Amino acid sequence: MVNGMQIQVNGECRDCRSGLTVGDLLRELDIRTERVAVELNLEILDRKEFELRGLKEGDRLEILSFIGGGAPTRFVRERKRLKHAR
């Protein structure tokens, strides 16, 4: 890619332009920065670092947030099955 690079975001490969910061990427993905945690190559970033941290080829980024929990998915499947059986 000309002027581009490939990074991994939440386990998926993603092509993006060079010079992108973590903050840029979050905006591009339409993710509000409050209540998310970002881990860059296993290092947890402080919120104020989002705009300062540039991304480079091969970086692995994890973006996490809160979900209903903590139910292992098999319970959700069990409930569906129970409902079905009723």
Partner 1 sequence: MHDDRLVIAGREFKSRLWVGTGKYKDFVETKKAIEVSGADVVTVAVRRVNITDRSKENLLDYIDPKKYTILPNTAGCYTVEDAVRYSRLARAAGVSDLVKLEVLGDEKTLFPDTAGLIEAAKILIKEGFIVLPYTNDDPIVAKKLVDIGCPAVMPLAAPIGSGLGIRNPYNLKIIMEQVKVPIIVDAGVGTASDAALAMEYGADAVLMNTAIAGAQDPIAMAEAMKYAVHAGRLAYKAGRIPRKLYATASSPIEGML
Which spans of this chain sit near partner 1 (rule: CB under 8 A)? 9-12, 29-32, 34-39, 44-47, 62-72, 75-76, 79, 82, 86
Contacts 24+ apart (CB under 8 A), 3-11: 5/55, 5/56, 5/57, 5/58, 6/57, 6/58, 7/55, 7/56, 7/57, 7/58, 7/59, 7/60, 7/61, 8/58, 8/59, 8/60, 8/61, 9/61, 9/62, 9/63, 10/61, 10/62, 10/63
Q: CB of 11: closest distance to partner 1 in angstroms?
A: 7
The minimum distance between CB 15 and partner 1, in angstroms, equals: 14
- Between 5 and 31, CB nearer to partner 1: 31
Kindly tell me which of 17 and 75 has the beta carbon lying closer to partner 1. Answer: 75
